[in-house]
């Protein structure tokens, strides 16, 4: 079915004039804007100490450093005494819509976020431990990781069983977080951001430099999915 009557064309012509009347805001997109599913918490951390901790942590992992493409990660928490992560531990259950059927499909297996109670011993002396302990007083934390997103890279469009807290360590204005219909930049200034990743979301790095966040899952006793 097509809708191309002259009345509709005239209506759209008038609408174009309205739409072009005001230039878009190009400044506020370089800062944080809260919205449904994304909020900034009251606590904040020392961003320089976060960056120093990252540099030291990288000398103790085989990750090597923030990546130019793809995805890099290392864990700050683990199941007590469990030294080796499974591939599933690095992602876990999520739901996604992948094609033009619009059908939602599950991927991977559920992870018991409540089980990740131990801070990884090799990072015990770093500022990350203090950050983790402080965040743990706000809400129970599950898997807590440092995640890097390469240039011009984005995650799948998906939803998780639980929300996340983000503490950006290194970022750029082209790094954005999207939850459902809301999108915002999360500046790396020591702030802590709640992202309700029970909604559909993705993160992307559309800048020309690295983006590294500390991300903590918030276990739910009655997960939505």
Task: From 180, 213, 222, 182, select the one nearest 199 (Cα to Cα).
Answer: 180
Nearest residue relative to Fe ion (C-beta): 160
**DSSP conformation class of 224:** -
* Rounded least distance, CB 97 to Fe ion, Å: 14
Binders of Fe ion: how many residues, by CB under 5 A?
Answer: 2
Of the pair 44, 156, the CB lying nearest Fe ion is at 156
Positions 98 through 137 that interact with Fe ion (CB under 5 A): none
Q: Which residues of 36-55 are buried (b: 16+ CB within 10 A; e: fewer)?
A: ebbebeeeebebeebeebbe
For residue 47, give the 3-state DSSP assignment.
Answer: helix
Q: Which stretch binds Fe ion (CB under 5 A): 32-40, 138-146, 177-185, 190-198?
A: 190-198
Q: Establish if 89 lies at the interface with Fe ion (CB under 5 A).
A: no
Q: Establish if 191 lies at the interface with Fe ion (CB under 5 A).
A: no
Of the pair 109, 130, the CB lying nearest Fe ion is at 109
Rounded to an integer, what distance in angstroms lies between the CA atom of residue 11 and that of residue 200?
Answer: 34
Task: From 19, 52, 223, select the one nearest 126 (Cα to Cα).
Answer: 52
Q: Establish if 195 lies at the interface with Fe ion (CB under 5 A).
A: no
Q: Determine which residue in the list 197, 200, 205, 211 makes contact with Fe ion, applying CB under 5 A.
A: 197
Which parts of this chain interact with Fe ion (CB under 5 A)?
160, 197
């Amino acid at each position: 079915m097509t809708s191309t009557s002259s009345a509709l064309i005239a209506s759209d012509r008038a609408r174009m004039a309205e739409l072009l009347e005001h230039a878009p805001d190009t400044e506020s997109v370089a800062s944080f804007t809260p919205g449904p599913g994304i909020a900034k918490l009251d606590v904040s951390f020392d961003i320089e100490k976060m960056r120093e901790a990252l540099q030291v942590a990288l000398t103790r992992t085989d990750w090597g450093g923030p990546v130019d493409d793809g995805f890099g990660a290392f864990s700050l928490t683990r199941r007590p005494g469990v030294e080796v992560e499974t591939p599933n531990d690095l992602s876990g259950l999520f739901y996604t819509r992948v094609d033009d059927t619009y059908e939602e499909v599950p991927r991977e297996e559920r992870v018991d976020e409540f089980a990740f109670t131990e801070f990884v011993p090799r990072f015990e002396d770093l500022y990350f431990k203090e950050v983790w302990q402080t965040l743990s007083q706000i809400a129970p934390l599950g898997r807590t990781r440092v995640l890097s997103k390469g240039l011009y890279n984005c995650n799948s469009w998906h939803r998780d069983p639980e929300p996340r807290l983000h503490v950006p360590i290194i970022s750029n204005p082209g790094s954005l977080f999207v939850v459902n219909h809301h999108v915002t930049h999360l500046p790396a200034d020591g702030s802590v951001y709640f992202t309700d990743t029970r909604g559909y979301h993705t993160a992307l790095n559309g800048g020309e430099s690295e983006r590294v966040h500390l991300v903590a899952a918030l276990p739910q006793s009655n997960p939505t999915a």
